[in-house]
Amino acid sequence: MTQSPAMPLPPPKERRRLREAASLTRAQLASRVGVTSETVRGWETGRVTPRGRKGEKYAKLLNSLETEGEVTPPHGGAADPGVADPGVADPGAVDPGDVGPGVVDFGVADHVSGRSGPVPVLDRDRDRSRDRSRDRDRFPTLDRRRVPARAAGPLRPDDATGALTPDQAFDALYAFCAPALVRQTYLLTGRRELAREAVERAFQIAWQRWPEVARDRDPAGWVRAVAYECALSPWHRFRPRYRFSEPPPSDPFDRALLDTLLKLPPSYRRTLLLYDGVGLGLPETAAETEASTRAAANRLAHAREALAERLPELADPEVLHWRLVELASIERLRASKPLVVRRGGERRARFWTRAAIAFTVALIGTTALTVRTAPTRYEPPVPRGETVQGVPPPVAPGPLSESERELRAKLREAEQKGPERLMPQPR
């Protein structure tokens, strides 16, 4: 039975203020405490009360941040003039710091939220991990409050309130989420071009419904769900370009892992990626996959069993998580520019709008022609003929008698022209 920590905890809002004042992300704080970023989110919102050893460690960490001078008091203004105020209710303003845990950057292990503790490294992978350490050093830990401002360039407010325009907010969200989503979608499909196409299509749909997406509590989760649906659509099997498989990864272990993932049912694969790859909690995974929590847990268990049966090294969920991260990071997957995606979505919207207008005009013209040429009165149809029963068949003519022969000869000899006429003679 767990007990509350002996050290008092500050209020939930103060917990978040202390973390942000120390320039720590939820992922960084979670790695120090040994919990997931979703747990830290629950502690900061007040939905969950820290308990047990983790809660005591969390309380000590907050106390050390406050007492040892690691925290500077927040100023009255915004921390960064280039980032919009998250409290603004403008449809074009999005707070990328609250986009949820689903924007895990699969390109770098340091970006992954929701996982903590030392990374288990197998003996066979020490050389490969050492080779990739130089690439990881080039990617510093991201601060979600400042990434969109750097990714989208200088964000200039459109009015005195400091709210971003819809274009700027969309570009910031795309620059922050698109690279990670492309890598996640690649693990779902095993196809590089399809992953990029699915993510672009998801952001195009988001741009068409931008007021709805901007007001959503988790815009990144909204786009991720649409991207997964587009990537797992069964209609791709009828496209000629997707009938042939793409070149697999060069590493034998990565190739075996990707092949095992693709053999799982789509629902199992998606659940495994969201829980063990992205780091979502089980309720969030069940909600995104439109399943109950029990069904999501069963899918996750069966998917893990299938992976462990073929690859015993991945029986540990922590090892599986980092394997998925490395598998996605080795692929050089690039996302298009935000402007290209927005213009592509606008062109697609214009095309389908014009097609709908043309179809409506054709339907109206066909209806008018039918009304013009339709008959004005009812004409009953002619019934089909019926066979008459009881009528004797006609008798065929028999041989001529002697008198009929004489009459026929007389008719042939008589003149056909002239005043004379043949008159019947009485007998």
- CATH, residue 41: 1.10.260.40
Note whether residue 391 is domain-resident.
Answer: no
142-153 tens-digit pLDDT: 233 333 433 333
Number of domains comprising the chain: 1
366-382 tens-digit pLDDT: 999 999 998 888 888 88
What pTM was computed for the model?
0.53
Note whether residue 244 is domain-resident.
Answer: no
Note whether residue 258 is domain-resident.
Answer: no
Note whether residue 345 is domain-resident.
Answer: no
Q: Rounded to an integer, what distance in angstroms lies between the CA atom of residue 148 and that of residue 168?
A: 10
Note whether residue 371 is domain-resident.
Answer: no
Q: Which domain holds residue 49?
A: 1-74
Going residue by residue through the chain, which has 427 residues, state the pLDDT in tens, using 9 for 90 and above: 344 445 778 888 888 888 888 878 887 888 888 888 778 888 888 878 888 888 888 888 888 887 754 434 443 333 333 333 333 333 333 444 444 444 444 533 333 333 333 333 333 333 433 343 333 333 232 233 333 433 333 444 444 445 788 888 898 899 888 888 998 998 888 888 888 899 999 999 999 889 898 888 889 889 999 999 999 988 888 888 777 777 888 888 888 888 889 999 999 999 999 998 888 888 999 999 889 999 999 999 999 999 999 888 888 888 888 888 888 877 777 778 888 888 888 998 899 999 999 999 999 999 999 999 988 888 888 888 888 888 887 777 778 889 988 988 888 887 666 556 666 667 6
Note whether residue 212 is domain-resident.
Answer: no
33-82 tens-digit pLDDT: 888 877 888 888 887 888 888 888 888 888 888 775 443 444 333 333 33
Note whether residue 224 is domain-resident.
Answer: no
Note whether residue 315 is domain-resident.
Answer: no
